[in-house]
Amino acid sequence: MPDPTATDAPGRDATRGRYRFREYHVTIVAGPMALPAYEVLCVTGEEHNCGAESGTLHTPDELTRWIAEHCARTGHQHYEQTARAILRAEPGAWQ
């Protein structure tokens, strides 16, 4: 039941607030103990991809070698590369 003495008062859900958003600066650093990880997928094919996968590789040379060997065996020329690395965020100051 509404309060008849407060007919002109705004309801609770009519309150407003002002919010200020600040920018947070972060520096991203590669983890010193983790090796980067690469994977390659052969996507050569007319109706469907070859689907051959390299598995996890840790250097660009390993990646190139896998592609070269697969290409020599099959003649396939199109690959999708995925690169992963462990990163660490170093918090900066609020601005």
- pLDDT tens for 13-57 read 556 766 666 666 777 777 777 788 999 999 998 888 999 999 999
Total domains in the chain come to 1
Whether residue 95 lies inside any domain: the answer is no
Whether residue 13 lies inside any domain: the answer is no
Which residues form the domain of 71? 39-90
**pLDDT for 87 beyond 70:** yes
pTM of the full predicted structure?
0.60
Whether residue 59 lies inside any domain: the answer is yes
Helices and strands, number each (H, E), in the chain: 1, 4
Whether residue 80 lies inside any domain: the answer is yes
Whether residue 79 lies inside any domain: the answer is yes
